[in-house]
């Protein structure tokens, strides 16, 4: 195996069959597809895993072989270490790539993978345990000389949190101690809201990462989110591959990422790179990782956390460096050196996350079947997607199903190219975040780089984005029999079978906008705006309630949605309970 020049060039096609790598991807969706494509270029057989909700997903179709690992519930499938390792044994895999999310930052998974005889494509369990624990990572950053934001040195419970909050001061942010991606994070501006934010963050942390611990950190209101992409091998080489700016966020969820950061000059970039490399070297970290920081209005940067995995936004780094980070991850996992690489980022790149959410309805998730799907193309345009026409965006997982990435010689050219590409992207059947991306890219604040991590939520108040209530015409129904490929499972493995069937691609109708079915609220019914799980019921039958009070918390696509009463009245019927799975349009409560 070899890695050459400024871009990765690795091939296993001529390797001995007994030692030839075979990579199982312990993930789903667009990141699984992205890893499969690199494996294909390298001549490495790929193995997909899937839950019942993903039986016909694109990553399952593209892999060389695919294995069922359980039902739709993530805890019984993509979070089941036993099921994934059993699939790896059946597939005769030699390596496991965790992707991002799910088990990617679980030290126990990395340990179990190695103990089972597979190579883990990522950092070792010790590094994941240390840097994945946000409190421990803050101590390491402090020792390495990287500035940190004031916060709690260890995870806290409710009692300790109240004392620590007085020391730290408000506003502060509650964070999941073992996780990332903006999940389990809540800003608290006054002591009155601390209790509920702690409980909610702990509940989300348990749901997303399997651990409920949280910690507190001082919240910086006007800041840019800037992160360093690092790559390290086991021979002591640590490379800084440039920074990314992820300041366009909503509820701590990134929507648009770009490189280079528009708020960094060369002197600051040099200091940033030196600090990131020093921290990585100090911890003995190996493989790809990201060090996330905030940059305040004075131009000072402060350590936030380290993501011990590949990032969703790794694509923009690839676009400006010409490096395949997944190929390099595989090379490093195989013990290869990277000291011959000389990364020199050129130009600018922007990524937009395409989520099945409706910005015109407060980003309401909209899972369903995609009835039209046409990707943009042209010079320096890339789409990483986990779907195709006729595919499903399931309600069981994150709402992101694709990423659109462009590059250009400079930021302004990249912005214009992205606008062109967004205009070409045609998706019907589910709502998407494309309208908000277009609005952001045309905004004065984004053009001038004056936006911050809290800017978008304030700015959207005046955006007046229309609701995507009508998702376009359904395609005509196919009435004649035609051959179709379906799959059956034999001992958990997919086997393709061709049959003749009448197939019908009709999109599920989107829930009506808030005003349509909550205007006068006929019969006082409150209906589920989407499919999901009732996490908590906050009212009782016979209770008097005022308009705006939360009736229940509905989780859908890994997001908590507070369902509020549209008017004053008495709760006369309450046909729901905590833990219940509800369908779109199902009655949750009746108010008279």
With a cut of 70, say whether residue 584 has pLDDT above it: yes
> Is residue 510 classed as helix, strand or coil in its secondary structure?
coil
What's the whole-number mean pLDDT along residues 273-294? 96
Question: Regarding predicted confidence, which is higher, 269 or 531?
Answer: 269
Tokens describing residue 498:
């061709």
Q: What counts of helices (H) and strands (E) characterise the chain?
A: 16, 32
Bridge partner residues of 545 (DSSP): 569
Comparing 49-58, 412-421, 563-572, the range with the smallest average pLDDT is 563-572
CB–CB of 321/164 below 8 Å? no
CB–CB of 10/327 below 8 Å? yes
Question: Which band of pLDDT confidence, cut at 50, 70 and 90, is reported for residue 558?
Answer: low
Tokens describing residue 43:
């001549």
Q: What are the tens digits of pLDDT across the range 289-341?
A: 999 999 988 888 999 999 999 999 999 999 999 999 999 999 999 999 999 99
Question: Which band of pLDDT confidence, cut at 50, 70 and 90, is reported for residue 499?
Answer: low
Comparing 67-71, 212-216, 483-487, 552-556, the range with the smallest average pLDDT is 483-487
Comparing 41-55, 499-513, 543-557, the range with the smallest average pLDDT is 499-513
With a cut of 70, say whether residue 511 has pLDDT above it: no
**CB contact set of 156 (below 8 Å; sequence gap of 6+):** 164, 214, 215, 216
With a cut of 60, say whether residue 360 has pLDDT above it: yes
Handedness of CA 580, 582, 567, 536 (dihedral sign): positive
Q: What is the pLDDT of residue 474?
A: 42
Q: What is the pLDDT of residue 217?
A: 83
> Is residue 427 classed as helix, strand or coil in its secondary structure?
strand
> Is residue 254 classed as helix, strand or coil in its secondary structure?
strand
Q: What is the pTM of this model?
A: 0.79
* Cα(399)–Cα(101) distance, integer angstroms: 13
Give the residue from 289, 293, 232 showing the smallest Cα distance to 268. 293
Q: What is the pLDDT of residue 485?
A: 64
Q: Percentage of the chain surpassing pLDDT 70? A: 87
Q: What is the dihedral of CA 523, 529, 533, 534, to 10 degrees?
A: -40
* Cα(113)–Cα(107) distance, integer angstroms: 10
With a cut of 60, say whether residue 13 has pLDDT above it: no
DSSP-derived secondary structure letter, 178: B
With a cut of 90, say whether residue 488 has pLDDT above it: no
> Is residue 540 classed as helix, strand or coil in its secondary structure?
coil
Q: What is the dihedral of CA 123, 89, 489, 84, to 10 degrees?
A: -30
Question: Which band of pLDDT confidence, cut at 50, 70 and 90, is reported for residue 181?
Answer: low
Task: Write b or e for each residue in 486-521: b if 16 or more Cβ atoms lie within 10 A of its Cβ, otherwise e.
Answer: eeeeeebebeeeeeeeeeebebbebbbbbeebbeeb
With a cut of 60, say whether residue 6 has pLDDT above it: no
State the greatest distance between any 2 C-alpha atoms of the chain, in Å, as a whole number: 74
Q: What is the pLDDT of residue 117?
A: 97
What end-to-end distance do the CA atoms of the chain give, in Å? 71
Q: What is the mean pLDDT of the chain?
A: 87
Q: Percentage of the chain surpassing pLDDT 90? A: 64
Residue 389: Cβ-neighbour burial (10 angstroms; 0-12, 13-18, 19+)? middle
Q: What are the tens digits of pLDDT across the range 52-84?
A: 999 999 999 999 999 999 999 999 999 999 999
With a cut of 70, say whether residue 483 has pLDDT above it: no
Tokens 């967004």 sit at which residue?
A: 422
Question: Regarding predicted confidence, which is higher, 537 or 471?
Answer: 537
Question: Regarding predicted confidence, which is higher, 159 or 250?
Answer: 250
With a cut of 80, say whether residue 250 has pLDDT above it: yes
What's the whole-number mean pLDDT along residues 449-475? 80
The structural domains of the chain, ordered by start, are 23-121 (3.40.50.20), 150-218 (3.30.1490.20), 514-591 (2.40.50.100)
Give the residue from 541, 502, 530, 507 showing the smallest Cα distance to 586. 530
CB–CB of 183/209 below 8 Å? yes
Q: What is the pLDDT of residue 539?
A: 93
> Is residue 11 classed as helix, strand or coil in its secondary structure?
coil
Q: What is the pLDDT of residue 376?
A: 98
Tell me the backbone φ, ψ of residue 163, rounded to 5 degrees. -70, -45
Q: What is the pLDDT of residue 500?
A: 52
Q: What is the pLDDT of residue 200?
A: 84
Q: What is the dihedral of CA 446, 452, 458, 460, to 10 degrees?
A: 30
């Amino acid at each position: 195996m070899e890695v050459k020049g400024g871009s990765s060039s690795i091939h296993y096609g001529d390797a001995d069959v007994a030692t030839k790598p075979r990579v199982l991807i312990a993930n789903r969706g667009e990141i699984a597809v992205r890893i499969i494509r690199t494996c294909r270029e390298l001549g490495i057989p790929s193995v997909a895993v899937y839950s019942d909700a993903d039986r016909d997903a694109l990553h399952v179709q593209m892999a060389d072989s695919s294995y069922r690992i359980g039902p739709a519930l993530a805890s019984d499938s993509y979070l089941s270490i036993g099921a994934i390792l059993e699939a790896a044994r059946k597939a005769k895999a030699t390596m496991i790539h965790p992707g991002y999310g799910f088990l990617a930052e679980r030290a126990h998974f990395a340990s179990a993978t190695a103990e089972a005889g597979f190579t883990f494509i990522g950092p070792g369990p010790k590094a994941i345990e240390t840097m994945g624990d946000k409190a421990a990572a803050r101590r390491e950053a402090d020792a390495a000389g990287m500035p940190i934001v004031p916060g709690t040195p260890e995870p806290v419970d409710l009692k300790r949190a109240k004392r620590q909050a007085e020391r730290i001061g408000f506003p502060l942010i509650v964070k999941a101690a073992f996780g990332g991606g903006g999940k389990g994070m809540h800003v608290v501006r006054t002591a009155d809201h601390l209790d509920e934010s702690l409980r909610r963050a702990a509940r989300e942390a348990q749901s997303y990462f399997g651990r409920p611990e949280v910690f507190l950190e001082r919240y910086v209101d006007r800041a840019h989110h800037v992160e360093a992409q690092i790559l390290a091998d086991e021979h002591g080489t640590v490379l800084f591959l440039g920074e990314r700016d992820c300041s366009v966020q909503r509820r701590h969820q990134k929507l648009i990422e770009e490189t280079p950061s528009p708020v960094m000059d060369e002197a600051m970039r040099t200091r940033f790179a030196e600090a990131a490399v020093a921290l990585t070297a100090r911890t003995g970290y190996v493989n790809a990782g990201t060090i996330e920081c905030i940059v305040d209005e004075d131009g000072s940067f402060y350590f936030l956390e380290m993501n011990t995995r590949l990032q969703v936004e790794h694509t923009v780094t690839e676009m400006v460096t010409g490096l395949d980070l997944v190929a390099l991850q595989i090379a490093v996992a195989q013990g290869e050196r990277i000291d011959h690489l000389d990364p020199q980022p050129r130009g600018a790149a922007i990524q937009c996350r395409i989520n099945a959410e409706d910005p015109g309805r407060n980003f309401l998730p909209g899972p369903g079947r995609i009835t039209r799907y046409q990707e943009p193309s042209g010079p320096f345009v890339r789409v990483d997607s986990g779907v195709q026409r006729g595919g499903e965006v399931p309600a069981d997982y994150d709402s992101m199903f694709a990423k659109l990435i462009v590059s250009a010689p400079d930021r302004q050219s990249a912005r214009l190219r992205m606008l062109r590409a967004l205009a070409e992207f045609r998706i019907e059947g589910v709502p998407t975040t494309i309208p908000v991306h277009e609005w952001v890219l045309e905004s004065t604040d984004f053009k001038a780089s004056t936006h911050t991590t809290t800017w978008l939520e304030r700015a959207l108040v005046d955006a007046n984005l229309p609701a995507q209530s009508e998702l376009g015409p359904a395609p005509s129904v196919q009435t004649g029999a035609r051959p179709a490929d379906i799959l059956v499972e034999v001992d958990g493995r997919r086997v393709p079978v061709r049959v003749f069937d009448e197939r019908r691609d009709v999109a599920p109708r989107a829930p009506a906008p808030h005003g349509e079915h909550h205007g006068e609220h006929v019969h006082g019914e409150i209906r589920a705006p989407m499919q999901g799980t009732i996490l908590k019921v906050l009212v009782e039958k016979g209770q008097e309630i005022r308009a705006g009070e939360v009736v229940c918390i509905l989780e859908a696509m890994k997001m908590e949605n507070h369902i509020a009463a549209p008017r004053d009245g008495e709760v006369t019927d309450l046909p729901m309970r905590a833990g219940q799975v509800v369908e779109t349009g199902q009655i949750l409560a009746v108010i008279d």
